[in-house]
Structure 1
Amino acid sequence: MKKNFAPSAPYSRRAPSPPALEVRYPLMRRRAGSESQFVLVPSYENADAGQLTAEDLSIITGNETRLIAENKSADWRYEDRRKAQRVLDFLYVGPVTAIRDLQFLQNEGITMIIIVRNTRLPSRSLEMASQQLGIVGEYVEVMGTQQLIHNLPKTISTINQHLLHVYRSQAHQCTLDGEMVVDPATFKRGKVLVTCESGNELSPAIVAAYIMAVYGNSFESAVQFIVVQRFCVSIDASLKQMLCTWGGILNARAVVSRDRGPVGSEVGARPIKTAKRAIHDTISPEDHTPDQDKSHMQDQERFCGREAFAPFHDVAPES
């Protein structure tokens, strides 16, 4: 049967896809003395106020105001992909095989290992590290990006609570003002190693999400900060989209935290709106004049003069 219609414009039958998210990976070594773009500054803006205080954030970050990443891309070797690299002073990323290097774990002072996996099989290397070095082990079960973003708040909270626990277990109360302090000569900071099968996808994505939550960076700058230190990181489009969504969640949480007032106070209490007002409801009857009506309808002028678009048009049948 011949069709007597044709499309007015090109179209596709597939479902719409999200736009591609590109991350520019720096390849050149940063010049000595130049202004570095790989700098992190702790920010309490995206922190969960219900679980983390400003004092806790200071303890976790070691009270450092700026953290500069060392660009290792120029000296990167293929064998380095089998090792774990330090991304933050207290956070490492690498493949799950790096757990077997007990000497590395001991030298770096690793106190917790997080394994991101899509299988429930236990890791013998993690059990050995826990028995010989007393390292705490945690598993993050991931069957897809949807489950990964669901587990991000819990995973980030697990890292923060472990770092705070290590600090408080070595702190003692000062006799002068009651503040909890540690002895710098004997204090050993908590350090967390996040691993996955390759160390190039899932574990860097979690570390990037952590940087976005604790330091307030965008997903692009967070990934860049990791790549310059572990050059083999390769985050696919679905993980990039997940990190972009995570950034939106953090921004929304920050807005809600700023706007939230004390419960039951006049600041926090807001009237409940039952319905959205129509444009004519903004004009009172006594003040209704033709001039005011025009001022309210000026926005409709941008729709004037537009031709109607029909997705299909008729075609004459062939004789």
Structure 2
Amino acid sequence: MNITAPPMSIDEIKSVIQGPGDVEWRYEMRRECQEILPGLWLGPFVASKSLETLQLLGITHIVCIRDAKEAFSVRPRFEQHFRYMTLDVEDNEEQNLIRLFPGAKAFIDTAISQGGRVLVHCNGGISLSPAFVVMFVMQFYQISWEDALHLVQNRRYCISPNGGFLTQIKEYEAIYKANLAVAAYPAAQRTVSRRKRADEDDDEDSNRYFQSLWTRCRNTHNCHLIYSDDDRKRALVSTDQDPDPNAMET
């Protein structure tokens, strides 16, 4: 399941990217979570430690992304109240996020489609969890990685994915657009293309067969193979015997 935003005009998309203009960012807001798009919140681990706050926001699902070394402290706290997905990663530029993203996206898609609200957090909510959210926003609105990054930054000003994560965010734009192109390609046309390729493969196999047969014949019997489009395979005509002196020359 892939949830996406309803079709929007260019002006509507620009407005969404810009975000609310009446929010004055304060340093203390780094320790809070912010709503990035309807049903999706982003923040630090500390925001996931307040049961009262989570319930007040209507959170139903939580994606906990943590460095494996932080597992003793950054962990689900209220499993009896919320559904959790926990991802153990390495918070460094070498960590492959694209490989982990589809599972996280499926979890978020399912939650939002069922009317739930999802909080995505890492320890600080600065680099790791924002990278996941930027990729999600990019595909949800079908926008460029730059626009998705600006959209998230305009709601949580303090985010700053590291260089490695930023590179993967850029790469993911090409991946999701390729998937969209494949999905949009008419199924009937794909079937015709496959059939055409199969026919071409059959012709290739046939040509290879006749070429092999001709080579064998020529090397062993000094023959030549005669065939036409209507009757590809005819008798081998031997040239081992001397020609009939009485035959007419043409």
Whose helix fraction is larger, Structure 1's or Structure 2's?
2
> Which residue of 2 is the match for residue 246 of structure 1?
172
For 1:155 and 1:95, the matched residues in 2 are separated by 17
Task: Please point out which of 156, 160, 170 is paired with 2:105.
Answer: 156
For 1:261 and 1:268, the matched residues in 2 are separated by 11
Aligned CA distance change for structure 1 residues 242 and 72 (closer, same or farther; 3 Å) = farther
The answer (yes or no) to whether the contact 1:260–1:268 under 8 Å persists in 2 is no
> Which residue of 2 is the match for residue 208 of structure 1?
134
Task: Please point out which of 219, 224, 232 is paired with 2:150.
Answer: 224
Q: Which runs of 5+ in 1 are unaligned?
A: 1-50, 168-188, 275-319
Task: Please point out which of 194, 197, 203 is paired with 2:123.
Answer: 197
Aligned length: 190
The answer (yes or no) to whether the contact 1:100–1:125 under 8 Å persists in 2 is no
TM-score, reference length from structure 2: 0.67
Aligned CA distance change for structure 1 residues 111 and 246 (closer, same or farther; 3 Å) = same
Q: Which runs of 5+ in 2 are unaligned?
A: 202-250
Counterpart secondary structure, 2:197: coil
TM-score, reference length from structure 1: 0.53
> Which residue of 2 is the match for residue 70 of structure 1?
20
Specify the code of the residue in structure 2 equivalent to 1:250: Y
- Per-residue Cα deviation, 1:189-214 (whole angstroms, up to 9, x for no partner): 31000001110111111111001111
For 1:153 and 1:125, the matched residues in 2 are separated by 21
1:237 Cα deviation after fit: 1.9
Specify the code of the residue in structure 1 equivalent to 2:82: I
Specify the code of the residue in structure 2 equivalent to 1:140: L
- Select the structure with the greater relative contact order (CA < 8 A; seq sep ≥ 6): 1
RMSD: 2.7
For 1:141 and 1:269, the matched residues in 2 are separated by 45
Q: 5 Å matches for 1:69-218? A: 69-71=19-21, 75-119=24-68, 121=71, 126-127=76-77, 129-131=78-80, 134-143=81-90, 145-164=94-113, 167=114, 189-218=115-144
The answer (yes or no) to whether the contact 1:71–1:229 under 8 Å persists in 2 is no
- Per-residue Cα deviation, 1:252-299 (whole angstroms, up to 9, x for no partner): 11222223625984355341678xxxxxxxxxxxxxxxxxxxxxxxxx
Task: Indicate the structure (1 or 2) with the bigger Cα radius of gyration.
Answer: 2
Aligned CA distance change for structure 1 residues 264 and 148 (closer, same or farther; 3 Å) = closer
Counterpart secondary structure, 2:43: strand
1:217 Cα deviation after fit: 1.1
